[in-house]
């Protein structure tokens, strides 16, 4: 696998990510349903708005020497010291290459060392077996809670 690194998401990423927002295959295992067509301008405005939020951290997942943007990491931080972690790989050519596993491990490390959080939470569609495996590989454990089609997982960070 190519080198993977993370940087803060920026409005210029809308040049690529708006296309991902309109691809139903990318979103089939998420809790998001986009009923309207997302334009580049809508996506850019959304990114600008999200970057202003104090309780949200958004990162671009990039690979290789060319720093190719392939997906996103989103942490929604609660005052309780917990955060819900969302990861998606928008570049379908990169699916199945272990990027989600590396991104989840990075999230755990970042949440523990940089944010000093107590717990990370994930909610993954029960049919998204690859993401469930990647989560458990990164230290997440199933909580036994299921909401509709979503399995809840968590990792304690102060172990």
pLDDT-based confidence at 158, cuts 50/70/90? confident
pLDDT-based confidence at 103, cuts 50/70/90? very high
- Percent of the chain at pLDDT exceeding 70: 94
pLDDT-based confidence at 146, cuts 50/70/90? confident
User: pLDDT by residue (tens digit) across 6-64?
Assistant: 999 999 999 999 999 888 888 776 766 667 888 999 999 999 999 999 999 999 999 99
Q: What is the mean pLDDT of residues 81-92?
A: 94
- β-pair partners for 72: 60, 88
User: pLDDT by residue (tens digit) across 113-131?
Assistant: 999 999 999 998 888 898 9
Which residue from 98, 99, 146 is spatially nearest to 122, judged by alpha carbons? Answer: 146
Q: What is the mean pLDDT of residues 86-91?
A: 92
CATH of domain 4-117: 3.40.630.30
User: Cα-flanking dihedrals φ and ψ of residue 66, to 5°?
Assistant: -85, 0
Contact status, residue 67 vs residue 98, Cβ threshold 8 Å: no
């Amino acid at each position: 696998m190519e080198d993977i690194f993370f940087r803060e998401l920026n409005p210029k990423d809308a040049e690529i990510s708006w296309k991902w927002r309109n691809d139903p295959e990318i979103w089939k295992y998420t809790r998001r349903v986009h009923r309207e067509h997302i334009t580049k301008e809508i996506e850019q405005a959304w990114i600008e708005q999200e970057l202003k939020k104090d309780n949200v951290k958004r990162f671009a997942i990039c690979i290789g020497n060319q720093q190719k943007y392939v997906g996103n990491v989103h942490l929604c931080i609660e005052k309780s010291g917990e955060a819900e972690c969302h990861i998606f790989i928008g570049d379908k050519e990169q699916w199945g290459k272990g990027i989600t596993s590396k991104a989840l491990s990075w999230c755990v490390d970042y949440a523990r060392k940089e944010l000093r959080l107590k717990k990370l939470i994930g909610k993954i569609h029960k049919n998204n077996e690859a993401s469930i495996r990647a989560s458990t590989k990164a230290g997440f454990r199933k909580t036994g809670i299921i909401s509709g089609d979503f399995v809840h997982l968590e990792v304690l960070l102060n172990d």
